[in-house]
Amino acid sequence: MIPLLKGIRVVEIGAVVLGPYAGQILGDLGAEVIKVEPLEGDIARNAHPQGPGGGALFVNNNRNKRMLAIDLKRAEGRAALARLIGTADVLLHNMRVDAAERLGLGFDAVAAINPRIVHCAAIGFGQAGQYRDRPAFDDIIQAASGMAGLAMHHGGAPQFVPTIVADKVAALHTVYGILAALVARERGQPGPFRVEVPMFEAMVAFLMNEHLAEASFAEDGATGYPRVLSANRRPFRTADGWIAVLPYTAEQWRRFLAEIGREALCEEAWFRDARTRQTRIDDLYAILAESLPARTTDAWIEKLSARDVPCARIATPNDLLHDPHLAEIGFFDVPEVYPAGLARMVPQPVRFETVSPAPDAPPAGIGADSRAVLRDCGHDDAAIEALVASGVVGTGPG
């Protein structure tokens, strides 16, 4: 944990990845993040595979949080949450908007409780458009945003990117949206702040950054960034495996062509002109494909690295567990405060070299901090025990 956001209280009502990932990043940056779960917990707790602390998906998205379990379907639960919201700086949720409204968690209701609040709804589709009420999951957003359709440019069938990309991209947008609002508030802009982060629009912006292309300049302009969409842009076979090679600049291409004895190509008119060279990227990729099987991956890494030509061996997720760079920096190391039986964890990758870190808090059990959180926002012990006895609040030990 990096204590940069110390003193900021975030109430996270999130499930699975989008909300929890955003909440974890804020917790990693030192905010006090209170995760509000139903009595049965976030469904990611039960995701396969299981280990200490629950499902791996839960463990990797819920460190540095306090856990409050509460039944928001009951009026007493909603009243207790409202009291907590009154003490918070941020409310973050990734529920559908109509569900949030029914629970009293819409912007107007929350702003009435706390006029300084940053209210952030990480949702499927922007509420100003006609898709506003559609359900959204990662596959749905990959399909709607054009991500799955990129493979069709190669003449193939649509494909999903095999990672939960839409949730995680939207979560990153969620974090910077919240941080921007907090900075504005600290500089004197009055609240409340309404932040809406739609997965669909976030992914369209992510995708079309380069693929808007000619359509940037003309109504009938073509979309698609040619170099990225080339069917020949792919991992290349070597004599014993696979490699990625990307000579990006003219000088890098010259160094690669010199390595394979094709220097004469550099004198061709089409090569010397940057724009023309870009239109013939398939010809250059074809040269890569023809040349690289002649040597082993290790041999190419050695030769191309010596010439400062960008290259990397193709790694699988399993390879990353044994990557020498990641091992040297202790990337997957588990802090001592984590329970026994956890072999690795995914860390916060951003480093702040001039700020001393504080210990991370591992994900806790359902309701582990319920009593403490309720005390912090003004409930006395008798009121807390009444909520527990009535089944409105779930608690861990203590």
Residue 79 φ/ψ region, left for φ over 0, alpha for ψ in the -120 to 50 degree band, beta for the rest:
alpha
Q: DSSP class of residue 268?
A: S
The C-alpha atoms of residue 52 and residue 344 are separated, in whole angstroms, by 11
| Residue 397: predicted pLDDT | 62
Closest-CA residue to 300 (of 381, 236, 360, 362): 236
For the cut 50, the answer to whether the pLDDT of residue 166 exceeds it is: yes
Q: With beta carbons less than 8 A apart as the criterion, state whether 143 and 158 touch.
A: yes
What tokens were used for 220? 């009938």
Which run of H or of E encompasses 290? helix 281-291
For the cut 60, the answer to whether the pLDDT of residue 199 exceeds it is: yes
Q: How confident is the model at residue 27 (pLDDT cuts 50, 70, 90)?
A: very high
Which run of H or of E encompasses 199? helix 199-211
Which residue's entry shows tokens 């909440």? 23
Q: How confident is the model at residue 336 (pLDDT cuts 50, 70, 90)?
A: confident
Q: What's the whole-model pTM score?
A: 0.95
Sequence-ordered list of residues with C-beta below 8 angstroms from that of 273, at least 6 positions apart, any chain: none
The model's pLDDT over 321-333, given as tens digits with 9 standing for 90+, comes to 999 999 999 999 9
3-state secondary structure at position 227: helix
Closest-CA residue to 134 (of 124, 143, 142, 144): 124
The model's pLDDT over 276-308, given as tens digits with 9 standing for 90+, comes to 888 898 999 999 999 999 999 999 999 999 999
| Residue 382: predicted pLDDT | 97
Q: DSSP class of residue 334?
A: P
Q: How confident is the model at residue 53 (pLDDT cuts 50, 70, 90)?
A: confident
| CATH 3.40.50.10540 describes domain 9-206+332-394 | yes
The C-alpha atoms of residue 19 and residue 35 are separated, in whole angstroms, by 10
| Residue 398: predicted pLDDT | 45
| E-only strand ranges, the chain | 9-13, 32-37, 50-51, 54-55, 65-70, 90-93, 118-123, 193-198, 236-237, 242-245, 311-313, 393-394
CB atoms under 10 Å from CB of 42, counted, come to: 26
Q: Where in the chain is the domain with CATH 3.40.50.10540?
A: 9-206+332-394
CA dihedral of 143, 147, 152, 154, whole degrees rounded to 10: -160
Q: Where in the chain is the domain with CATH 3.30.1540.10?
A: 236-313
| CATH 3.30.1540.10 describes domain 236-313 | yes
Mean pLDDT (the chain) is 95
| Residue 396: predicted pLDDT | 75
The C-alpha atoms of residue 265 and residue 267 are separated, in whole angstroms, by 5
Closest-CA residue to 21 (of 170, 233, 207): 170
The model's pLDDT over 129-153, given as tens digits with 9 standing for 90+, comes to 999 999 999 999 999 999 999 999 8
The model's pLDDT over 201-222, given as tens digits with 9 standing for 90+, comes to 999 999 999 999 999 999 999 9
Strands 32-37 and 65-70: parallel
The C-alpha atoms of residue 78 and residue 376 are separated, in whole angstroms, by 17
Closest-CA residue to 105 (of 123, 115, 91): 91
Closest-CA residue to 136 (of 170, 163, 105, 103): 170
Please state, in angstroms and as integers, the Cα–Cα distance from residue 63 to each residue in 157, 165, 167, 234, following that order. Answer: 38, 20, 18, 36
Which residues, listed in sequence order, are joined to residue 34 by a DSSP beta bridge? 11, 66
For the cut 50, the answer to whether the pLDDT of residue 310 exceeds it is: yes
